[in-house]
Chains A and B, each alone.
Chain A
Amino acid sequence: MPAAQIKAKIISNLKLSNNYWHLEFESGLIAKQAKPGQFVQIRVADGATPLLRRPLSIHAAGALKVKIIYEVVGEGTGILSTKKPGEFLDILGPLGNGFDCARPVESRGGKNILVAGGIGVAPLVFLAEKLKLSKPLVLIGAQTKKQIICLPEFKALGCGLKLATDDGALGFKGRVTDLLKIVLEQTKPARIFSCGPYLMLKAVAQIAGENRINAQLSLEEHMACGIGACLGCVVETKSGYKTVCKDGPVFFSEELVW
């Protein structure tokens, strides 16, 4: 069964911390098909403003439920945060190419390392669940302690955790990519999976390249259609422009041109 346009009933929509919100809605169709790294396109208003849907990555997908963690950054996500349980959302999904976690890597003996920046942690919980047998090591970075989220989920999955904040109030003081460099001196890596701000991903790509580690990066871009039709959300790759919405949002780091 392919992706679809659905009307989904909101189960809950709650503030987590800071500007982070947690949305849960009913959808057997999306929950059944979703893969880590995929996203949904949510229409937040019926009228013409804001006009476009908002692309949000899937945080978890259970039997009949889908969870999203989003950051309120503007008008669209602001409206989304006012939606109440019982209301319906117009959603397209699941969309995009997610993380490739099919290949067995345990045989190589290395660790799967997940690197999250800020709200980029959201899809990595879903990924960690798929990779839980390999007990991945999760690195989370954020500006402040309050912006570090999802710790209980990773702990419940049996992941190792290392944190970084700009002021050192929680974990390592500094960037999560500097923390990654230290970790790589101590840990034999298998693959890196990462989601976060552009500059963080760029640093992860560089570190992965220097250490010859296979890295998969989930990119973010403004989108119009979300289904590969408008060609608006392109990223430059070694084989030309590719769409973040359909070819991505996850790309192998060596494909990308920074």
Chain B
Amino acid sequence: MVKQTQPNLNVKIGNLNLKNPVMVASGTFGYAREFENFIDLKKLGAMVTKTITLKARQGNPAPRTCETPAGMLNSIGLENPGIDEFIQEKLPFLQKLGIPVIVSIAAEETPQEFAILVKRLDQLPAVSAIELNISCPNLQKNKLISQDVKDTFELVSAVRKLTAKCLITKLSPNVTSITQIALAAQSAGTDALALINTLGGMSIDVHKRTPKLGAWVGGLSGPAIRPVAVKMVWEAYNKIKIPIIGMGGIIDTESALELFIAGAAAVSVGTANFVNPQVSLEIIAGLKQYMLKNNMQNLSQLTGRLRVCRS
């Protein structure tokens, strides 16, 4: 028997080269330092920061999280120190890690804030890529940018002109057609899509008859939403050409594989970081084993390789 070579876990997202396709999702990993005692950060494929806004945001009133069946709701409300303090206080630590740093950004009032943020980040060598969070459900907006084809196209087009850095657009699952929004973002020039953000949700304390979250409603994450993520990644994969970073309910190797097979070129681990800080590294090891066992030399033999006929 021929000795099999180690599978190649490299993946390219736009102009960004990842040594492995497992990253940590925005909002679930702080600015990485919070996890330094619990995981070897240098082994991650990439890290996505908590979403940054132009000015500091104090976030929503407590309680901000509540556990739900196989998941959790959150209504953090993008608490963050603002771009200036992020660059000064958080970025130097991230830069030292030597892994790609993807900075997630959002606008509070107007889409122009995205342009200002992108211009700032574009100048920083420590920033490997920018993720446009146009899908946060906790900003008390009637409509998110990513819930409208035209708004998505216009926003992505506007910021695309401002940077040559890898641009990732994170979409909301709370839409009628994920493929229309995905196509709009693609034609506007995004390098990749991040699918999916949290699903809108609500939970009630029946004894008090009050919402369990201080903001009343929030975003649902965790294994409960995985089937939604798998379907949306699969639907988008069949219509678009740019890479998809799949996320939503990944908690182990098998759940990560589901998203790869549905069409993800890379995956992000989110809520599971709270449950098991080491889970991303366990998935990298598990993925390697799976590829070895199935004679896959590289990730293109896995991404989107769904068998649709019964065998």
Residue ranges of A at the interface with B (Cβ–Cβ < 8 Å): 2-5, 43, 48-53, 90, 92, 221-236, 240-241, 246
B136 CB, nearest partner CB in chain A, Å = 14
In whole Å, how far is A141's beta carbon from the nearest beta carbon of chain B? 23
Closest A residue, CB atoms, query B272: A51
A2, A50, A230 pick with most chain B CB within 10 angstroms: A230
In B18-73, which residues have CB < 8 Å from any A CB?
A: 27-30, 34-35, 37-38, 50, 58-59, 61-67, 69-72
23 contacts between A and B (CB under 8 A): A48-B222, A50-B67, A51-B67, A51-B222, A51-B271, A51-B275, A52-B275, A90-B276, A221-B63, A222-B65, A224-B274, A227-B38, A229-B35, A229-B273, A229-B274, A231-B59, A231-B64, A231-B79, A232-B65, A236-B61, A236-B62, A240-B58, A241-B59
- The reply to whether A51 and B223 form a contact with Cβ atoms under 8 Å apart is yes
B298 sits at the interface (CB 8 A): no
Residue of B nearest to A5 (CB): B38
Shortest CB-to-CB span from B51 to chain A, Å, is 11
> Is B277 in contact with chain A by the CB < 8 A criterion?
yes
Cross-interface CB contact of A225 among B58, B61, B62, B273, cutoff 8 Å:
B273
Bound CA–CA A223/B71 (angstroms)? 13
B residues engaging A (CB < 8 A)?
A: 27-30, 34-35, 37-38, 50, 58-59, 61-67, 69-72, 74, 76, 79, 222-224, 251, 271, 273-278
The interface centre, meaning the residue of A3, A232, A241 with most chain B CB atoms within 10 A of its CB, is: A232
A52 x B59 contact (CB < 8 A): no
- Check if A48 sits within 8 Å of B223, measured CB to CB: yes
A224 touching B74, Cβ below 8 Å? yes
Question: Are A3 and B34 in touch, CB under 8 angstroms?
Answer: no
B251 / chain A contacts, CB cutoff of 8 Å: 48
A232 to B69 Cα, complex, angstroms: 18
Separation of A97 and B248 alpha carbons in the complex (Å): 32
4 closest A-B pairs by beta carbon, nearest first, are: A229-B30, A232-B65, A229-B34, A48-B70
Which of chain B's residues have a CB closer than 8 A to the CB of A231?
Answer: 30, 50, 59, 64, 76, 79
**How far, in whole Å, are A224 and B276 apart by their CA atoms in the complex?**
11
- In the complex the two chains form, is B275's CB within 8 Å of A234's CB? no
A229 to B76, CA, bound (A): 11
List, in ascending order, chain B residues with CB within 8 A of A236's CB: 61-62
User: Interface majority SS on B: helix, strand, loop or mixed?
Assistant: loop
Q: What's the least CB distance linking B270 to chain A, in Å?
A: 10
Determine if A229 and B29 form an interchain contact, defined as CB atoms under 8 angstroms apart.
yes
Other contacts beyond A5-B276, A49-B70, A229-B34: 11, CB < 8 A: A43-B276, A48-B251, A51-B223, A52-B274, A225-B28, A229-B30, A230-B27, A232-B63, A232-B76, A236-B62, A241-B79
Q: How far apart are the CA atoms of A2 and B203 in the complex, in Å?
A: 36
Interface-centre pick from B29, B37, B58, B61 (highest chain A CB count, 10 A): B37
**B58 and A222 contact, CB distance less than 8 A:** no
With a cutoff of 8 Å between Cβ atoms, the chain A residues found around residue B223 in the complex are 48, 51
- Shortest B138–chain A CB gap in Å is 11
Q: Which of A92, A232, A235 is within 8 Å of B38, CB to CB?
A: A92
- Kindly provide the distance from the CB of B58 to the nearest chain A CB, expressed in whole angstroms: 6
Whole-angstrom distance between the alpha carbons of A53 and B266 in the complex? 27
Minimum CB–CB distance for A44 against chain B, Å: 11
A3 neighbours in B (Cβ, 8 Å): 37-38
List the B residue with the shortest CB-CB distance to A235.
B62
Set of chain B residues within 8 Å of A233, measured between Cβ atoms: 62, 64-65
Asked if A230 and B74 sit within 8 Å, CB to CB, the answer is: yes
Distance between B202 CB and nearest chain A CB, rounded to angstroms: 16
Give CA–CA (A43, B223) in the complex, Å. 16
- B62 CB to nearest chain A CB (Å): 5
Closest to A223 in B: B65
Tell me which residues across on chain B come within 8 A of A50, comparing CB atoms.
67
Within 8 Å CB of A240, what residues of B? 58
Minimum CB–CB distance for B171 against chain A, Å: 22
Which of B34, B69, B276 is close to A228, meaning CB atoms less than 8 Å apart? B34
Q: From residue A97, how far is it (CB to closest CB) to chain B in Å?
A: 14
Q: Is the CB of B278 within 8 A of A230?
A: no
Chain A contacts for B277, CB-based, 8 A: 5, 92, 227
Q: What's the minimum C-beta distance from B234 to chain A, rounded to whole angstroms? A: 21
Distance between Cα atoms of A56 and B187 in the complex (Å) = 50
Rounded to whole Å, the gap between the CB of B28 and the closest CB of chain A is: 7
Q: How far is the CA of A51 from the CA of B76 in the complex (A)?
A: 18
Minimum CB–CB distance for B251 against chain A, Å: 6
**Shortest CB distance A154–B (Å):** 32
Given A225-B34, A225-B274, are A241 and B58 also a contact pair (CB < 8 Å)? yes
Closest A residue to B56 using CB positions: A240
